[in-house]
Chain A
Amino acid sequence: MMLTRYITQIGRYFLMLKEIFNKQTKWSVMKNLIFKEIDDLIIGSLGIVAFISFFVGGVVAIQTALNLTNPLIPKYLIGFATRQSVVLEFAPTFISVIMAGKMGSFITSSIGTMRVTEQIDALEVMGVNSLNYLVFPKIIALLLYPFLIGIAMFLGVLGGWMAGVYGGFISSAEFINGTQMDFIPFHIVYAFIKTLIFAMLLATIPSFHGYYMKGGALEVGKASTVSFVWTSVSIILFNYILTQLLLGS
């Protein structure tokens, strides 16, 4: 019974994806919606992403330094470990899980509120493809999500450098040497491929939970929670699959 329900929901999700790209909204209207979504979702997340990335980068550097007790292990590994942790996992994956909470609950609650106040019915009655009108601009806006993750990567490593150097764990030259060591450009490509897939999940799963919710204000809150759980689960699952596919050979 439960399995049938999950399969039905997954089918419904893919039908929703198809409908998003049907019957496009006029460009003159869509353009403004996209700019608004960029402001809400990308610009609006810059502060929290910068704050978290900077301090977590710092903590990664300190933890690595504190665990490198063997004098034979070179100190530049602190820079290396910080770069690898931040670029490969922290920035693309864990910032995305945090964004599933921040952006995801915003998307679910705003669309869910439109559902319970009949604003979505109003769009449909007017002949507007409400899924295209509401979800398509979010997908386009989140094409800029890699920009946010790029900033997270930079600030994470910067945080690591500052914590390492000003905390007296490592010299600046050693840290920079570590961040440049064994650099594989494909790791950046891998991180940004993940980021784009996560961006699609971040735009569509919360929209799905908001769009198809039923009930009132209480159910909007419940839908936001459920949406956060499923977006996070999907991100972690896709992270595993993509890592296996792109790096696991």
Chain B
Amino acid sequence: MIEVKNIEKSFGGNKILKGISTVFETGKTNLIIGQSGSGKTVLLKSLLGIHTPESGTISFDGRIYSELNPDEKRELRTEIGMVFQGSALFDSMTVAENVGFPLRMFTKDNNKKIQERVDFVLKRVDLTEAHKKLPSEISGGMQKRVAIARAIVNNPKYLFCDEPNSGLDPNTAILIDNLIREITEEYNITTVINTHDMNSVMEIGEKILFLKDGLKAWEGNKEEIFRTDNEAVVAFVYSSNLFKKVREAYLKE
């Protein structure tokens, strides 16, 4: 569980996060949604320790990040898996080397054991033929799956995903969403996803945090988002006719 209490963050005098508090639950897919500039990415990067909030606390299962010493912070980071928007695969390494990288860096496992674990996670993300390929030789969807494999190879307690299905075709996007949800349940990890994609919200939004202008404007789950009268959420989520119709159909049922 990740508990965020009243965090604030500014850049050049411009306050981006204005006192956000929430809880990201274990074993659930927690989504952060909101318009561009609403503070989603800053919140995600604050959770990852890339940005340091000016006030407030972030605690990982009771460990308050700002109170940890540098070694404890690095230790905590080994419990984190991250899927970046652009996959962020190391382009000089093969798929297998990318996936095995956290194991080579942080475990004392021998090559055979690392290889077995890499094979296992690549099979889990349905990529058994790509071991020796470079990231530039595989498709965007495959790169995302490799990034997910790399994020989970070290059995993380926390999984963060920044726009995991941006730039993917609808079928692949749904595959990626489902894969993240399955992995979250299977390994009982705390997953936080930053997304613009309303399909993801409807598919895997077990907990949704909606940000507007750096403030928490609404939170709930995918069932509640259909019923909410919150104007900001309705204006953002149901801005397209398609989603308006989906909502109407859901409410009629």
Please report A residues at the B interface, Cβ cutoff 8 Å: 23, 25-26, 28-29, 113-114, 117-119, 121-122, 124-128
- Residues of B21-50 at the interface with A, using a CB-CB cut-off of 8 Å, are 48-50
Complex CA–CA separation, A113 to B85 (angstroms): 15
State how many angstroms separate the Cβ of B109 from the closest Cβ of chain A. 11
**Which among A29, A113, A117, A125 is the interface contact of B48 at CB below 8 angstroms?**
A125
Contact A128 B105 (CB under 8 A): yes
Given contacts A124-B50, A125-B80, contact A23 B74 (CB under 8 A): yes
Contact B50 A122 (CB under 8 A): no
Q: Which of B86-94, B118-126, B169-177 contacts A (4 or more CB under 8 A)?
A: B86-94
Pick from A28, A121, A127, A128 the residue with the most CB of B within 10 Å: A127
**Which among A26, A114, A126 is the interface contact of B77 at CB below 8 angstroms?**
A126
Complex CA–CA separation, A217 to B89 (angstroms): 17
Given contacts A125-B50, A125-B80, contact A119 B104 (CB under 8 A): no
Residues of A within 8 A of B80 (CB): 125-127
Given contacts A124-B50, A125-B50, A126-B77, contact A25 B105 (CB under 8 A): yes
Complex CA–CA separation, A24 to B63 (angstroms): 25
| Chain B interface extent, by class | 20 to 34
Contact B84 A118 (CB under 8 A): yes
Contact A125 B77 (CB under 8 A): yes
B188 interface residue per 8 A CB criterion: no
Residues of B within 8 A of A118 (CB): 84-86, 88
State how many angstroms separate the Cβ of B172 from the closest Cβ of chain A. 20
Contact B74 A121 (CB under 8 A): no
B106 interface residue per 8 A CB criterion: yes
Complex CA–CA separation, A9 to B51 (angstroms): 20
Contact A122 B105 (CB under 8 A): no
Closest B residue to A133 by beta carbon equals: B105
Complex CA–CA separation, A129 to B90 (angstroms): 15
B75 interface residue per 8 A CB criterion: yes
Given contacts A122-B82, A125-B80, contact A29 B88 (CB under 8 A): no
Contact B82 A125 (CB under 8 A): yes
**Which among B50, B75, B89, B91 is the interface contact of A127 at CB below 8 angstroms?**
B75
State how many angstroms separate the Cβ of B115 from the closest Cβ of chain A. 15
Complex CA–CA separation, A161 to B80 (angstroms): 62
Contact B91 A29 (CB under 8 A): no
Contact A127 B77 (CB under 8 A): yes
B102 interface residue per 8 A CB criterion: yes
Residues of B within 8 A of A122 (CB): 82, 84, 88, 90
Complex CA–CA separation, A117 to B88 (angstroms): 6
1/0 per residue, CB under 8 A from A, across B47-89: the answer is: 0111000000000000000000010011111101010111011
Contact B74 A127 (CB under 8 A): yes
Contact A29 B105 (CB under 8 A): yes
Closest B residue to A127 by beta carbon equals: B77
Closest 10 CB pairs of A and B: A127-B77, A118-B88, A122-B88, A127-B74, A125-B82, A118-B84, A127-B78, A119-B88, A125-B48, A126-B102
Residues of A within 8 A of B77 (CB): 124-127
Complex CA–CA separation, A73 to B157 (angstroms): 81
Residues of A within 8 A of B78 (CB): 126-127
Residues of A within 8 A of B88 (CB): 117-119, 121-122
Closest B residue to A122 by beta carbon equals: B88
Given contacts A29-B104, A128-B105, contact A117 B86 (CB under 8 A): yes
Contact A28 B104 (CB under 8 A): yes
